[in-house]
Structure 1
Amino acid sequence: MTHPIIQQTLAEHAAAIAAIDCLSPHITEAATWIGVALREGHKLLICGNGGSAADAQHLAAELTGRFETERRAYPAIALTTDSSALTAIGNDYGFDRVFSRQVEALGQPGDLLLVISTSGNSANLVTATETAQARGVRVIGLLGRDGGALGHSVDLPLVVGVSRTARIQEAHLVILHLLCTLLEAET
């Protein structure tokens, strides 16, 4: 007999994954935005905190390497990986600016920023979004719960409307893989 915790977890997971279906048009739109930007010589900047930082790195690796199909390398940068930059910026400007400072340095009009947050309320992602938009960089938000503050400020919110952080992260990973699949289908 399956343990009740396993049954509950799998039921929550299934509900979170099922919630992705209603996001299908927005996921397709996000993939289109990313594909157009990459084809036009622009880059994708990606950031998040904690598990979302790991997701940012995962996506950057799938795009600069490959997901499932041989294709050219895509310019994608996880703003979470440079420990010297993160600690210098955090020390000199505060943690709220660790991503916005990098967006200021690297973001150009036509680039995209993907912010990943299970709560949608991370101050450093809100600040990065504001900096990006001021620089002509559109922002896609991969968010959870009700989207939080980012749900109202990003240009294209993809909100997984469940409450458990782990289930949101699981759905985010599926969405990231869907974006990769859609991008590789265009090449």
Structure 2
Amino acid sequence: MTAPGSTARRVLPRVLLLNGTVGAGKTTTADAIGALLRERGLPHAVVDLDALRRVWPAPSDDRFNGALLARNLAAVARNAWDAGADRLVLAGVAETVEDRSALEEAVAETIVTCRLVVTASELRRRLLVRHGPGAERDWHLDRAEELDAVLDGADVHDHVVSVDGDDRGRVATAVLDAVGWGPPVR
């Protein structure tokens, strides 16, 4: 424990999870954060968790392929650390404390989470632009509402950043500032 008034540096988690409902901008923000970290010369990796779980069909008892995600993330994180990454930016969803713990176990690090929130009207607009008419669009619209409600009641977020009306660079900077990964003090 650090004594009051101590000048010891606070150790920040090396892993950031951008959490939020479908359409909130997790992947877009992760890519923008990666660009900012690159500009600052900070070794990192950006991982879209959906890509690590995308196998069909999912087991009937694991709707979103969480077990596969954990195995794949463990390998990707290990390889990123071995390749010299100092930070890991994850874009995905943790609905529960157990989900967050599984991700922490997979990366072998403590995770700081930042939920990206967007108004219902903006979320709907984004999903209508992203998905043409049909079953996939309808699924995403339904899932966005369902997941937003789940995340409202979840105790997994360290920080929350609104993404309405802001460009990706501003959102990325706001997230980095919120989690303590902003520019170093010189």
TM-score by length of 2: 0.45
With CA pairs under 8 Å and 6+ residues apart, which has the higher RCO, 1 or 2? 2
TM-score by length of 1: 0.45
Name the one with the larger helix percent.
1
Q: Rg: which structure is higher? A: 2
